[in-house]
């Protein structure tokens, strides 16, 4: 490492997908980057905020193919910070919401490299909001759960069963592969009529939304070819969505509402 290089690592939350939902602080951090490590869920348009001569390295996964393991990503962050100086680790959503950001920070810190975090707008809140779904609403929902659908051991989180017993809005990330299990847990609590929204590619130009109930949502997903990346929102607030109030009065839940 050249003596003049001062290593520094900044975790930047890229937001839910729409590049306009990157924070100003994130833009400023990228503008000073010598090297950027970015994930698949971080919109590549955001890389335009980094200097043209900065090194840009894709470290995410697409369609189940991992470019690098987490251990390799950790080491790449250290190696590139020591080589180039100012490194930005660009992560989708918020880096501390199921993004393994804290693991990365701890690893980098163990080498004595200064670290900083720029929070991002979490998709768990922004994607429903973009569709007019308020996760809390007076008289309807007093709280919300945000749960990962797939834990580190590839199983469904036990918290989903607990959430199904509550009156809270339930937001599940990375849960599409576990949808049948999720539905069964809510059916066990006699919540078959509870409204559900599944939003694919939230805040992006190719966003799709499927609307149903616990009892109908699997069929809705099949009919409309919904898949990951998608967010599952379960709760009465889905029915309260201003854009959908007329929709619920006129048609059954097993229809799909095109993005409006």
The residues, any chain, with a CB within 8 Å of residue 160's CB and separated by 6 or more, are 147, 149, 170, 172, 181, 182, 185
**Tally of CB atoms within 10 A around 64:** 6
> How far apart are alpha carbons 121 and 73 in whole angstroms?
23
The active-site residue, picked from 61, 79, 215, 255, is 61
The active-site residue out of 39, 77, 91, 208 is 39
Core vs surface per residue 212-231: b (16+ CB within 10 A) or e: bbbbbbeebbeebebeebbb
Q: Does the annotation count 61 as an active-site position?
A: yes
226 token code pair? 């919904």
Any catalytic annotation for residue 204?
Answer: no
Whether 52 is catalytic is no
Catalytic residue among 174, 176, 178, 191: 174
* Nearest-angstrom CA–CA distance, 185 and 83: 50
Torsion angle (degrees, nearest 10) of CA 230, 204, 194, 237: 140
Coil, strand, or helix at residue 84?
helix
Annotated catalytic residues are 39, 61, 174
């Amino acid at each position: 490492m050249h003596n003049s290089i001062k290593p520094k690592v900044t975790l930047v939350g890229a937001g839910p997908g729409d590049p306009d939902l990157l924070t100003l602080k994130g833009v400023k951090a990228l503008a000073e980057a010598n090297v950027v490590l970015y994930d698949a869920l971080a919109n590549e348009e955001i890389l335009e905020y980094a200097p043209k001569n900065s090194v840009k390295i894709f470290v995410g996964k697409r369609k189940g193919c991992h470019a690098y393991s987490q251990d390799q990503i950790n080491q790449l962050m250290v190696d590139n910070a020591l080589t180039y100086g100012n490194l930005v680790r660009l992560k989708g959503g918020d880096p501390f919401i199921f993004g393994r950001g804290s693991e990365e920070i701890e690893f980098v810190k163990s080498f004595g490299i200064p670290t900083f975090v720029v929070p991002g707008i979490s998709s768990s809140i922004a994607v429903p909001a973009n569709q007019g779904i308020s996760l809390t609403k007076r008289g309807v929902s007093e709280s919300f759960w945000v749960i990962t659908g797939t834990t580190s051991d590839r199983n469904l989180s036990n918290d989903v069963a607990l959430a199904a017993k509550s009156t809270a809005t339930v937001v599940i990330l990375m849960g599409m592969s576990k949808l049948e299990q999720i539905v069964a847990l809510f059916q066990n609590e006699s919540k078959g009529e509870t409204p559900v929204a599944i939003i694919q590619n939230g805040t992006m130009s190719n966003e799709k939304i499927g609307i149903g109930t616990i009892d109908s949502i699997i069929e809705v997903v099949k009919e409309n070819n919904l898949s990951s990346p998608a967010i599952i929102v379960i709760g009465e607030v889905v029915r309260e969505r201003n854009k959908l109030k007329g929709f619920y009065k006129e048609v059954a839940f097993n229809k799909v509402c095109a993005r409006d």
